[in-house]
A and B are shown apart, each in its own frame.
Chain A
Amino acid sequence: MVDKDTLRGSIARVLEKNSIESTLILARQDGVVVFEQDQEISEKDKQTLGALMAGAWQAAEAMANFFPVEEKNFFRLGFDTSDSGIYILPINASSEKFYLGLFFKNEINPAILKNKLRNVSQQIVEELSIYFDARESMEEPLFENITDDEIEKIFSFAGV
């Protein structure tokens, strides 16, 4: 079984090998983050970035649909200045869509960095496919008969 840490390790190695050191977030279509490179981002900020990234991509995609282009065109989303910004690429792996977001600042040549990311995206697709293809499809409920007490316990932080 391929675990999440193995996936993290594999993607981290791909990035290291290609000298991509900028902050990077890989999120699912629903915004759930599956990988991040940057220990300085807090867990909560990471989740927020994932949600915003997925939302931004999907909004841009919906706008683009008003002006259809051929399927073969490969979209990317940029929000940047000449040396800093955000660059998002879509990734399809194992029948799922993901977004790869690069957050960079003070880059002398962002175009090179973006190009590197486009080049490594295929390697990331391969790592994701290995991981997600290994998932077992199960139909059994994860939790059965959760009690009201258990729910009260997980909400106890709110004092309500």
Chain B
Amino acid sequence: MSFVNYQTKEVNCKIVFYGPGMGGKTTNIQYVYKKTAGDSRGDMISLSTENERTLFFDFLPLDLGEIRGFKTRFHLYTVPGQVFYEASRKLILRGVDGIVFVADSQVERMEANLESLQGMEKNLKEQGYDIDQLPIVMQWNKRDLPNVVSIEELERKLNKRNLPSFESIATDGVGVFETLKTISKLVLMNLKSGL
């Protein structure tokens, strides 16, 4: 749930990167961290295992510039993708303003993508979200790998709502900011007035 403060002219928004394990969620926000100047972002916090798998969440606070007089602040989170961390994923979705679903384009990961997407829809529903009202952007990651599913098939199987989607190679930063800009725009336009 976003926090708009008219007195200090600040908006705080929460964006969650969701998707199957090893799909590139952490890589996305690591790239954002790498490309942003120190005064625009805080330290990136990763609660991860020894082999760098996300255990609870990654967190990156990002101060963007002003828009129509309001200072915009985004909190980027990733969820742990591995199947058995469902409880953590539910917690991290609390108060979410927008989601980037990072799908792994590899043929053998299609089942995991579908499972993760269904899990996300179920978790959002459980928390009272209307999935049709929540800004969501799809990202087709790992497009540089040889065994990828076609974009048409990804769209057909994972994007039945016809949400905005982007191809990406998060390790090289391809598509990362395009995705983030789009979800940021959708989230900002979805904000309701309030104190």
Q: How many residues belonging to B are interface residues under a CB distance threshold of 8 Å?
A: 55
Complex contacts, B12 vs chain A, CB 8 Å: 32
Task: Digitize A119-160: 1 where CB-to-B-CB distance is under 8 Å, 0 elsewhere.
Answer: 000000000000000111111111111101011111111111
Give chain B's interface secondary structure class: mixed
- Asked if A107 lies at the interface with its beta carbon under 8 angstroms from chain B, I say no
- Asked if A51 lies at the interface with its beta carbon under 8 angstroms from chain B, I say yes
**CB atoms of B94 and A137 under 8 A apart:** no
Complex contacts, B72 vs chain A, CB 8 Å: 154
Complex contacts, B77 vs chain A, CB 8 Å: 51
- Asked if B57 lies at the interface with its beta carbon under 8 angstroms from chain A, I say yes
- Asked if B150 lies at the interface with its beta carbon under 8 angstroms from chain A, I say no
Complex contacts, A146 vs chain B, CB 8 Å: 67, 185, 188-189
Separation in Å of the A152 CB from the closest CB of chain B? 7
**CB atoms of A142 and B65 under 8 A apart:** no
**CB atoms of B91 and A134 under 8 A apart:** no
Interface residues of A in 4-45 (CB under 8 A from B): 4-5, 28-32, 34, 42-45
A42 to B61, CA, bound (A): 12
- Asked if A47 lies at the interface with its beta carbon under 8 angstroms from chain B, I say yes
The stretch of B20-28, B41-49, B101-109, B130-138 in contact with A is B41-49
Separation in Å of the A34 CB from the closest CB of chain B? 8
Complex contacts, A45 vs chain B, CB 8 Å: 42-43
**CB atoms of A142 and B192 under 8 A apart:** yes
A148 to B181, CA, bound (A): 9
Partner of B36, one of A5, A140, A141, A157: A157
Task: Digitize B38-56: 1 where CB-to-A-CB distance is under 8 Å, 0 elsewhere.
Answer: 0011110101000000001
**CB atoms of B192 and A28 under 8 A apart:** no
A30 to B94, CA, bound (A): 6
Complex contacts, A148 vs chain B, CB 8 Å: 185
A160 to B65, CA, bound (A): 14
**CB atoms of B185 and A32 under 8 A apart:** no
- Asked if B177 lies at the interface with its beta carbon under 8 angstroms from chain A, I say yes
**CB atoms of B64 and A154 under 8 A apart:** yes
Chain A residues proximal to chain B, CB less than 8 Å: 1, 3-5, 28-32, 34, 42-45, 47-48, 51-52, 55, 58-59, 62, 134-146, 148, 150-160
Which 9 pairs, one residue from A and one from B, show the smallest C-beta to C-beta distance? A44-B42, A30-B95, A138-B193, A3-B7, A47-B61, A135-B195, A154-B64, A142-B191, A154-B65
